[in-house]
Each structure stands twice: as structure tokens, then as C-alpha cells.
């Protein structure tokens, strides 16, 4: 019956993480998956999250189905976090928000909505981007193309080429943009570059689709929502999927949301209705537990302060690791410029390691990085950063020797 089913090739990120788990070498180092590990190499349970969960559990109560669109307190808290509670887009009711199964779930619901209601539209993602972006949009039946983004020569952004490509797109094209902490490169648009992009998006009638999976890991919770707020204030209509996996260390609870910013409240009501239709025919409604933890952290003033401090500490630790890696590598290979480790933001850096070099790092040094050359800086810690830098220098040095 099932002999014709093709084998699953595996996912480049999740499969490598599985390989790491199976590796018996005690000194192995995992820089593959985008997970924040603390300085002891553990996935932290945030104190704010632990206390919020205790409050949720103490309340007890039944476990009804949530509404299709999710819990009202969660959705309101998400809108306040993304836009600011007093933002005109929120107070005028022109943002349609659903609670989603991780931000991945939100991204896919949005992709399904686009495939159905903007059937002629095609999608443009940055070159490179998170691999799953392409999979999800293609999975929804949409054609996916790339726009220039990462500049290998400088470790920065090809902003002019990016604009030139976007300027040529047909109206209603979907433009996937990372709101902050670009995955996999760590290269972000500056505030001035966002400002320069907006008139182009408007004139060409493009539809921005923002992915905000790392809010708080770049320059801070508010600053990292800057692009979202700038686009909303400029009166653009756009999609935004956001995640609490990393910012609250709640990966397995699958907490995220999809928001669609619309021209007015009447259109937002129509959009919300069709998002609900999409959800109902997929998984019917989202789970309760994780969303209530998130809503409690966001709305309880004491827990909110504590979460902001904890997230700030995670951000600082990553910056410290960036500086240490930069320092050791620069000392070992003085001829090379590793400044990009300091300018790139968020969990990831694009190292310029080739696939063959990534393989050598893994096979000879037990250091796991993606074959694209992406490293998760949050996998580094005081105990392994030196060894990582030495191994990277050996692999890079062998190539230049
Ligand atoms: N968007 C981006 C840009 C992203 O990096 C991830 C996860 C997600 C969305 C999904 O998040 P969630 O809300 O948990 O559904 N990225 C890491 C893990 C993964 O690939 O699933 C990663 O890049 O390693």
C-alpha cells in the first residue's frame, strides 16, 4: 500500500540536532539548532515563566476548547507586546490576531490564507533565510523566490540590490522579512533602512510578511518590535508571525501568534473570520496551557518585570559569547576580519564556513554547526567557547594555509 511513499529526506536543522544527541563524544558542542542554552549548557526554565505556570496551575478549572482564534487575554497581550497597547492600529481594532501553534503554525495559517485569497501572488524570501520558510509557503501551494540579502564579501547587507529586486516585483507579491535577528545571518536592516523600504513597499503594493521569532534578543523587547510599529504607523497592511519559543524558553509549549494588520476594523473582521476558517479545518483550535503562561507573564506587572530582566540577561550573555569568539579567533588568525561576529545580532552568526568545513568541524572536533555555516551563538558558554574558537580556527586556517 505505501511502497510508493518517498522517504523523508529529513530537516537540515532538526536532523543535525538529532545527530548531535546520538554523538557519544563527551566534549561535543551543539551550535546547530536555534535554542537558547544558559552558561551551563541547559535550556533554562525562566523564573518568571515558572511562577506564571504555578499561578495557572493553582487556578485549576476545566479545560474547555478555546475559541478557534485562541484565548482573548493571550491575543490582547500579544497585540500590546507587538504594537504597544495604545497604538492606533490596536485601539481602532484593525489588527486581526490568532493564537497559533508556535509561530510556525501562524506562518502556515497565513500562507494558507494567502494561497486562497491572493491566489495570483508569489512569495519572495531573503537569500538566505530559515529553510522552513520556503517549505511552508511551498507547502501552501505558493511559488517561492529569493531577493538578494546577505553580502558574503562584507558579512553585511546587500541593501541596494535588495531594493532593486523588490522594485521589480508585481503588485501583491508577498515579501517575507525578518523583523529582527535575521536567521541564519544575524544581519538586520537598520531603522533608516526600514524607513527607506516602506515607500517602496507602498508604491509597489507589496505585502510584507514579518517573522518575529527572536523579540528581545537583538536590542531589546521594544526596539526589536520597531519594524512592526514603523510598518503599522505607515499605514501598510501586512502579516506578522511572532513566537514565544525563544523569548520565554517555551519551545515545546508551541506558543505563537499570527496578526494581520488591515486598513480598517471591518476588513480585520473579515480577515479574522477567514483565519478562523483555516484553523478550524486544520487543527480546530489552539491548546490552552502554554498560552495562559504567556498571557500571565505579559500581563502580571511583577512577572513582566522579571521576564524582561531575564531576557535582558540572555541577550547580554550572547553578546559576551560573540566578543569572546571574536577575540580568540582574531588572535589565532590575525590576517582575517571577524568583525561580523560583533555586528551581527541575535542567536545566529553566518561564519562563512563552507559545507565541507562544517563537516570537518563536526567529524574532527565534535562541533555541530549547520552546513550553511550558520552557528547558534547561544550554544556557546564559558566552558566551550575557547574550544569552539580553536576548532574553527583550525578548520579555517587549514583552508587558507
Ligand atoms: N521563524 C524563525 C525565523 C525561526 O528561526 C524559527 C525557529 C521559527 C520561526 C519557528 O519558531 P516556533 O515559534 O517555535 O515555531 N527556528 C529554529 C528552530 C527550528 O528550525 O524549528 C532554528 O532555526 O534552529
- pLDDT tens string for the chain (401 positions)? 999 999 998 888 999 999 999 999 999 999 999 999 999 999 999 999 999 999 999 999 899 999 999 999 999 999 999 999 999 999 999 999 999 999 999 999 999 999 999 999 999 999 999 999 999 999 999 999 999 999 998 889 999 999 999 999 999 999 999 999 999 999 999 999 999 999 999 999 999 999 999 999 999 999 999 999 999 999 999 999 999 999 999 999 999 999 999 999 999 999 999 999 999 999 999 999 999 999 999 999 999 999 999 999 999 999 999 999 999 999 999 988 999 999 999 999 999 899 999 999 999 999 999 999 999 999 999 999 999 999 999 998 876 54
Distance 13 CA to ligand 1 centre (A): 10
Using H for helix, E for strand and C for coil, what is the string for the chain? CCCCCCCCCCCCCHHHHHHHHHCCCCCCEECCCCCCCCCCCCCCCCHHHHHHHHHHHHHCCCCCCCCCCCCHHHHHHHHHHHHCCCCHHHHCCCEEEEEEEHHHHHHHHHHHHHHHHCCCCCEEEEECCCHHHHHHHHHCCCCEEEEECEECCCCEECHHHHHHHHHCCCCCCEEEEECCCCCCCCCCCCHHHHHHHHHHHHHCCCEEEEEECCCCCCCCHHHHCHHHHHHHHCCCCEEEEEECCCCCCCHHHCEEEEEEECCCHHHHHHHHHHHHHHHHCCCCCCCCHHHHHHHHHHHCHHHHHHHHHHHHHHHHHHHHHHHHHHHHHHHHCCCCCCCHHHHCCCCEEECCCCHHHHHHHHHHHCEECCCCCEEEHHHCCCCCHHHHHHHHHHHHHHHHC
Distance 300 CA to ligand 1 centre (A): 27
How far apart (Å, rounded) are the C-alpha atoms in residues 257 and 245? 11
Whether ligand 1 lies within 6 angstroms of the CB of 33 is answered as yes
Cα–Cα distance list, 162 to 114, 157, 193, 198 (Å): 23, 9, 11, 13
The pLDDT value recorded for residue 397 is 84
Residues pairing with 151 in the sheet:
156
Q: Residue 243 CA: which ligand 1 atom is closest? A: 13
Cα–Cα distance list, 56 to 102, 135, 200, 205 (Å): 19, 35, 45, 44
Q: Residue 129 CA: which ligand 1 atom is closest? A: 3
Nearest CA to ligand 1 atom 7: 34
Whether ligand 1 lies within 6 angstroms of the CB of 381 is answered as no
Distance 130 CA to ligand 1 centre (A): 8
Catalytic status, residue 130: yes
Q: How remote is the C-alpha of 252 from its chain's centroid?
A: 15
Q: How remote is the C-alpha of 399 from its chain's centroid?
A: 32
The pairing of beta strand 255-261 with beta strand 238-243: antiparallel
Catalytic residue among 130, 158, 194, 224: 130
Distance 310 CA to ligand 1 centre (A): 20
Catalytic residue among 112, 124, 188, 211: 211
Substitution candidate for ligand 1 out of 137, 209, 245, 291 with most atoms within 8 A of CB: 245
Catalytic status, residue 246: yes
Model confidence, pTM = 0.96
How far apart (Å, rounded) are the C-alpha atoms in residues 58 and 50? 12
Q: In this structure, are residues 347 and 37 in contact, taking their beta carbons and an 8 Å threshold?
A: no
Q: Residue 33 CA: which ligand 1 atom is closest? A: 24
Q: In this structure, are residues 206 and 175 in contact, taking their beta carbons and an 8 Å threshold?
A: yes
Amino acid at each position: 500500500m505505501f511502497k510508493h511513499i518517498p522517504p523523508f529526506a529529513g530537516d537540515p536543522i532538526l536532523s543535525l540536532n538529532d545527530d548531535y544527541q546520538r554523538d557519544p563524544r563527551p566534549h561535543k558542542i551543539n551550535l546547530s539548532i536555534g535554542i537558547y542554552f544558559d552558561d551551563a549548557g541547559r535550556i533554562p526554565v525562566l523564573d518568571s515563566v515558572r511562577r506564571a505556570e504555578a499561578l495557572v496551575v493553582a487556578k485549576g478549572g476545566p479545560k474547555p476548547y478555546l475559541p478557534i482564534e485562541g484565548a482573548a487575554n493571550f491575543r490582547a497581550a500579544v497585540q500590546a507586546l507587538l504594537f504597544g497597547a495604545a497604538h492606533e492600529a490596536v485601539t481602532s481594532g484593525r489588527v486581526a490576531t490568532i493564537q497559533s501553534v508556535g509561530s510556525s503554525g501562524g506562518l502556515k495559517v497565513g500562507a494558507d490564507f494567502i494561497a486562497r485569497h491572493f491566489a495570483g501572488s508569489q512569495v519572495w524570501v531573503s537569500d538566505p533565510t530559515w529553510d522552513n520558510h520556503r517549505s511552508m509557503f511551498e507547502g501552501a501551494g505558493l511559488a517561492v523566490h529569493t531577493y538578494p540579502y546577505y553580502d558574503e564579501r562584507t558579512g553585511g547587507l546587500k541593501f541596494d540590490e535588495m531594493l532593486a529586486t523588490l522594485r521589480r516585483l508585481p503588485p501583491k507579491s508577498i515579501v517575507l522579512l525578518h523583523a529582527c535577528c535575521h536567521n541564519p545571518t544575524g544581519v538586520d536592516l537598520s531603522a533608516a533602512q526600514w524607513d527607506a523600504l516602506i515607500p517602496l513597499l507602498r508604491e509597489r503594493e507589496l505585502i510584507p510578511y514579518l517573522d518575529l521569532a527572536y523579540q528581545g534578543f537583538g536590542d531589546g523587547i521594544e526596539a526589536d518590535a520597531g519594524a512592526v510599529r514603523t510598518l503599522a504607523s505607515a499605514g501598510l497592511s501586512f502579516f506578522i508571525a511572532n513566537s514565544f519559543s525563544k523569548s520565554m524558553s517555551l519551545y515545546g509549549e508551541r506558543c505563537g501568534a499570527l496578526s494581520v494588520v488591515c486598513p480598517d476594523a471591518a476588513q480585520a473582521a473579515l480577515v479574522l473570520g477567514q483565519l478562523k476558517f483555516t484553523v478550524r479545518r486544520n487543527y480546530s483550535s489552539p491548546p490552552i496551557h502554554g498560552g495562559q503562561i504567556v498571557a500571565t507573564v505579559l500581563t502580571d506587572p511583577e512577572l513582566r518585570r522579571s521576564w524582561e530582566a531575564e531576557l535582558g540577561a540572555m541577550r547580554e550573555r550572547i553578546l559576551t559569547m560573540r566578543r569572546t569568539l571574536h577575540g580568540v579567533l582574531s588572535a589565532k588568525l590575525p590576517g582575517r576580519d571577524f568583525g561580523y561576529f560583533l555586528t551581527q545580532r541575535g542567536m545566529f552568526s553566518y561564519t562563512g564556513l563552507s559545507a565541507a568545513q562544517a563537516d570537518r568541524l563536526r567529524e574532527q572536533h565534535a562541533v555541530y554547526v549547520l552546513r550553511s555555516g550558520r552557528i547558534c551563538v547561544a550554544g556557546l558558554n564559558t566552558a566551550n567557547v575557547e574550544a569552539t574558537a580553536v576548532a574553527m580556527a583550525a578548520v579555517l586556517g587549514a583552508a587558507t594555509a
